[in-house]
Structure 1
Amino acid sequence: MQTIKGTEYMSEIQPNSLYQAYKAVPLSDDGVQALTALYQPIIGSDALTLYFALANDASTAEYTHLDLLNQLNFGMQRFLDARYHLEGIGLLTSYQKNLSEFGLLYAYELQEPLSPVRFFADSTYSFLLKNMVGERRFQLLAKRYMIPRYTWSAYTNITKNFTDVYSFQLADYQRDQAKLEQIASHFSKESKPKIAINDQLDWSFLKFHAQKKQISAKNFTDEFSKKLSLYHQYYGLDEMDLVQYMADVVNIATGMVEIDELEKRIVASRRTTRVKESSVNKETEDAEIRRFNTLKLTGFSDLDIQIIKESEQISPADYLAAIKLEKNSYPTKLEEWIVRDLVERSPLPKSVINVLLHYALVVKNNSVLPQKLVDKISADWSEKKVGTPEAAIQLVRTLAKEAQTAKQQRTNQSRYTPNKVTRKEQLPKWLVEQEAKKVSNEQVEDSEVTLTDEMNERFQAYLKRKEGE
């Protein structure tokens, strides 16, 4: 069963929240057949199991959701997904009210499923079933429940009518009519489960462009419009997509669109799209596995590979914010401007920019993003046409190695330079300050501070939390 798009964990439902289940009439044999053979491919096995469990609980008794979860062996999210599937197909209506002593009380009213005959008589249900089981299985199911039609033209109808067989005094009927109608009012007429479809199409826009494609306004009956809304919600087709599909099958002479032909065109097109997407995803996944295995064999550590993955998944703005947060800081306006300018003007991919940010702020352990350092590195990498984060990490290693070598050379030079007794000359104060400032800048530029394990762990933990959200 697919996860419901756009739903979130409903925090107000706790395992100890109470519920009651209701069913106006016992589930009929036709209802059982429809649920298992026709509804189940659409709603999934979890929703079917939940329906039968609630039907078994249908009474005035109260239960806790924990009882239900234990019975079904479900987690709360799995239960909610199953519940939403029942609600969406019109098999369940859910209510809640606040009890001052016990918190929220939920009421689940089960609806009688359509009989197989009425199910196939509704084009919306048929459409959903056909999309789940395929054309061949759909035709077999339709044939199983199809009502046989007989021809009686060669026969003479000899059936007696009601008044030929039954009779009663009209005065007696009128005397009891009010009482009988009062009793009848307690028996609700059979209601058809309704599929809730959120109609978010801009019909004025759609019809305007349909007219430009020679599609007649007579097409847009209630049933036809309902189908278009279903295609919009089920396949994610917008107004222009729907107009194009209608234009592909419209009868130019009459301007009319055959709904069956439109459905065939949409289903065939979406099936081809899904196959292509699945193939591309599989190829991409295999290529990624080969890529990261190769990186590991060529000396990249697990941390390097993790940084590469994250650099490709996160925008530079979010990457900057993540680093600054783990440094107990926040991005300044200047830093945000530097990153935005880098993204807009630099030919570097966003993943490479992220590696640059990691080097400037994490490896170099700068409190703020140094613009001169960023400009210098980005210009160098742009000239070298650095196009992947792994290539950027290799260059970061080179920068770190050069900085370490320069630092070692300075240390050796100061260690082995013989002390000479020289006469000190008094330098001007402004020159002393200038030299001191120059030395300070060089120290900031060249010093290499290795990222601590704690910093790495905190940064990785934040990114995982971000991904979970």
Structure 2
Amino acid sequence: QAMLKSFQVQLVELKRHESNLLLIKDLYGVSDTDLARVIGQNLNNDKSVNIKGVEQSFARNYRASFNTPRHASQPAETISGDTDDNPLIAAAKKLSPLEFLGDIRKQSGGMVTSGEEFEIKKLVQLGKLPNVVLNIMLYNLTIVEQRTTLSQAFMETVYNDWAQVGIQTPEAAIKYLQERQVKKQQTTQKRGGTHYQTTPRVIEKRPDWQKQQARTLSSDEKQAADQMLAELQARRNQNEGEN
């Protein structure tokens, strides 16, 4: 409200749209300064906030970001149980869900679809999973399981499963994925030793969590992780400078 004083925007007007404005901050990872600037550009004649215009402005900027050149670095294709100096958890804590998925897609030359953007907005609004946990979920679906698109029904199914389990931290999310993978491997091995298997087994590229759970990052891995995080920060600083 202080930054919008020159626009004669009343505090009660901002309070009226508080939930929507906080959702925009969570979705796009924008600063208060950027939010105030865009609000000032989307005021009605009576100084009321055109909240739809604010939302559309950030959505346009987000989609336009996919036209920028992609970066060469790629995220790791494994989820390690180590939490100290873990680049995945660091990035998941730093970025909003749309930023996080957007960076993954840009590195592969793709983009976040309008359907995925809408669904992520809905899941963030539900608030049953913290954004950092939602990011781990998105990483597992897109990088580990290598899904190029995420349907509404599938995302809601996974989200509901994680919410019912009560996952609230990235460490708990990784542990849950590890335990689930171990159980699936045990079930597959058990079926493979009987004569009741009716469908061919599909060998998927999955992380070896059991071997990685107790190890620390090598110097090369740490250097690659630092480079990835530095590029993410540089891209955010560039976006803030342009805004």
Equivalent residues of 1:338, 1:371 under 8 A apart: yes
Letter in 2 for 1:314: L
Q: Relative to 1, partners in 2 of residues 1:353 and 1:204: Cα closer, same or farther, differing over 3 Å?
A: closer
**Correspondence for 1:327 among 92, 108, 124:** 108
The reply on whether 1:449 has 2:215 as its aligned counterpart is: no
Q: Matched residues in 1 for 2:82 and 2:170: separation?
A: 14
Q: Matched residues in 2 for 1:303 and 1:338: separation?
A: 31
Q: Which residues of 2 match residues 333-372 of structure 1 at below 5 A? A: 333-372=114-153
Q: Relative to 1, partners in 2 of residues 1:370 and 1:201: Cα closer, same or farther, differing over 3 Å?
A: closer
**Correspondence for 2:190 among 409, 425, 431:** 409
Letter in 2 for 1:408: Q
Letter in 2 for 1:326: Q
The reply on whether 1:465 has 2:231 as its aligned counterpart is: yes
Letter in 1 for 2:163: S
Q: Matched residues in 2 for 1:327 and 1:202: separation?
A: 43
Residue matched to 2:96:
315
Letter in 2 for 1:464: A
Greater RCO, 1 or 2 (C-alpha within 8 Å, sep 6+): 2
Identical residues among aligned pairs (%): 22
Equivalent residues of 2:133, 2:168 under 8 A apart: yes
Unaligned runs of 5+ in 2: 9-79, 209-221, 238-243
Equivalent residues of 2:145, 2:206 under 8 A apart: yes
Alpha-carbon shift at residue 310 of structure 1 (Å): 1.5
Q: Relative to 1, partners in 2 of residues 1:385 and 1:467: Cα closer, same or farther, differing over 3 Å?
A: same
Letter in 2 for 1:341: K
Please state which structure has a larger fraction of its residues in strand: 1
Unaligned runs of 5+ in 1: 1-199, 206-298, 419-434
Equivalent residues of 2:89, 2:170 under 8 A apart: yes
Residue matched to 2:161:
380
Alpha-carbon shift at residue 320 of structure 1 (Å): 0.4
Cα deviation code 1:226-285 (max 9, x no counterpart): xxxxxxxxxxxxxxxxxxxxxxxxxxxxxxxxxxxxxxxxxxxxxxxxxxxxxxxxxxxx
Residue matched to 1:305:
86
Q: Which residues of 2 match residues 22-421 of structure 1 at below 5 A? A: 300-301=81-82, 305-413=86-194, 416=195
Alpha-carbon shift at residue 303 of structure 1 (Å): 7.9
Q: Matched residues in 2 for 1:355 and 1:385: separation?
A: 14
Q: Matched residues in 1 for 2:110 and 2:225: separation?
A: 13
Q: Matched residues in 2 for 1:402 and 1:304: separation?
A: 27
Aligned residues: 153
TM-score (norm 1): 0.28
Structure of greater Rg: 1
TM-score (norm 2): 0.50
Q: Matched residues in 2 for 1:201 and 1:403: separation?
A: 54
Alpha-carbon shift at residue 410 of structure 1 (Å): 3.6
